[in-house]
Structure 1
Amino acid sequence: MINNLQKILKKNTEIIALFILILISVISTSYFNYNKDRIIKNYVESINNIYFKKTLNHFIDNLEPRFNKVSHNISAGETFDTILKKYNVNKDEIKIIKETLSKKVNLNKLNTTQKIRFILDQSSNKIKEFTFQISNTEKIYLTKNTETNKFNQKLLLTKLKKDIIYKENKILQSLYKSAVDRKIPIGVIVEFARVYGFQVDFQRDIRKNDSFQVMYEAFVDDNGKIIETGNILFANLKLSGQNNSFYYFDKKGSEGHYDKNGKSVKKALMKTPINGARLSSPFGMRKHPIDGFTKMHKGTDFAAPMGTPIMASGDGVVKKASWCGGGGNCIVIKHNSTYQTIYAHMSKFANGIRSGVRVKQGQIIGYVGSTGKSTGPHLHYEVVVNGKKINSQTLKLPSGKILKGEDRKIFETSKIKLDVLKSEKIVGIN
Structure 2
Amino acid sequence: MTASDSGTERRQRLKAKREAALHRPVLTRQISEGFTGRWSRRQWAHASLFATLGVLVAAIVPGFGPSANPQPVHTQRSSLALSLPPLPIARLKGHSGDSWQIVRVERGQTLGSVFENLDLPASTMHRILDESGDKALLTRLKPGTELAFDLPANGELRTFRYDRDESQRVELSIAGDKITEKVIVRPTEKRTVVISGKVGKSLFHSARKLGLSGSNINTLTDEIFKYDIDFNEDVAASDRFSVVVEQTWREGELIKSGPVLAATFTTGGKLHTGFRFERNGKAEYFTGDGRPLKKSFIRMPIPYARLTSGFGARRHPVLGRMRMHKGVDYAARTGTPIMAAGDARVKSAGWMGGYGNAVVLDHGRGYTTLYGHMSRIGKIKAGQRIAQGTVIGYVGSTGMSTGPHLHYEFRVNGAHRNPLSITMPPPEPLSGVALAQFRAQTSVALARIQQVENIIYADAGEASPATAKVKKPAKNKA
**1:386 and 1:158, CA in 2 relative to 1: closer, same or farther beyond 3 A?**
farther
Report the CA distance between 1:18 and its aligned residue. Answer: 0.6
Over the matched positions of the two proteins, sequence identity in percent amounts to 16
Report the CA distance between 1:262 and its aligned residue. Answer: 0.7
Report the CA distance between 1:259 and its aligned residue. Answer: 0.4
Pairing of 1:91-170 with structure 2 (within 5 A): 91-103=122-134, 105-121=136-152, 123-124=154-155, 126-145=156-175, 148-170=176-198
Which position in structure 2 is the counterpart of 1:202?
231
Count of residues in correspondence between the two structures:
323
**1:5 and 1:176, CA in 2 relative to 1: closer, same or farther beyond 3 A?**
closer
Give secondary structure in 1 for the equivalent of 2:61.
helix
Letter in 2 for 1:123: N
Report the CA distance between 1:251 and its aligned residue. Answer: 6.2
**1:113 and 1:21, CA in 2 relative to 1: closer, same or farther beyond 3 A?**
closer
Which position in structure 2 is the counterpart of 1:219?
248
Which position in structure 2 is the counterpart of 1:88?
119
In structure 2, how many angstroms separate the alpha carbons of the residues matched to 1:393 and 1:203?
Answer: 23
**1:75 and 1:20, CA in 2 relative to 1: closer, same or farther beyond 3 A?**
closer
Letter in 1 for 2:306: F
In structure 1, how many angstroms separate the alpha carbons of the residues matched to 2:63 and 2:232?
Answer: 69
State the Cα deviation string for residues 213-263 of structure 1 (Å, max 9, x = none): 21211122232x222122322211222111111122356636432101211
- Determine whether 1:298 maps to 2:325: no
Which position in structure 1 is the counterpart of 2:434?
407
Letter in 2 for 1:165: V
Give secondary structure in 2 for the equivalent of 1:118.
strand
In structure 1, how many angstroms separate the alpha carbons of the residues matched to 2:409 and 2:64?
Answer: 89
- Determine whether 1:283 maps to 2:306: yes
**1:313 and 1:92, CA in 2 relative to 1: closer, same or farther beyond 3 A?**
farther
**1:239 and 1:18, CA in 2 relative to 1: closer, same or farther beyond 3 A?**
same
- What are the ranges of 5 or more consecutive residues in structure 1 without an aligned counterpart? 36-64, 274-278, 286-295, 301-310, 318-333, 342-353, 364-381
Q: Greater RCO between the two (CA within 8 Å, min separation 6)?
A: 1
Which position in structure 1 is the counterpart of 2:256?
228
Give secondary structure in 1 for the equivalent of 2:274.
strand
**1:242 and 1:427, CA in 2 relative to 1: closer, same or farther beyond 3 A?**
closer
Greater CA radius of gyration, 1 or 2?
2
TM-score after normalising by structure 1? 0.60
**1:151 and 1:163, CA in 2 relative to 1: closer, same or farther beyond 3 A?**
same
Letter in 1 for 2:331: K
**1:283 and 1:88, CA in 2 relative to 1: closer, same or farther beyond 3 A?**
same
Among candidates 12, 27, 32, match of residue 57 of structure 2 = 27
Aligned Cα RMSD in Å?
A: 4.5
Report the CA distance between 1:202 and its aligned residue. Answer: 2.1
In structure 2, how many angstroms separate the alpha carbons of the residues matched to 1:129 and 1:423?
Answer: 51
Letter in 1 for 2:449: K
Give secondary structure in 2 for the equivalent of 1:266.
coil
Give secondary structure in 2 for the equivalent of 1:218.
strand
Which position in structure 1 is the counterpart of 2:294?
266
State the Cα deviation string for residues 255-286 of structure 1 (Å, max 9, x = none): 4321012111233567899xxxxx9x77358x
In structure 2, how many angstroms separate the alpha carbons of the residues matched to 1:153 and 1:213?
Answer: 45
Letter in 2 for 1:283: R
- What are the ranges of 5 or more consecutive residues in structure 2 without an aligned counterpart? 1-17, 22-28, 66-90, 309-328, 334-338, 346-358, 363-368, 373-377, 391-404, 411-418, 459-478
State the Cα deviation string for residues 181-231 of structure 1 (Å, max 9, x = none): 3232223212222222244332133344332221211122232x2221223
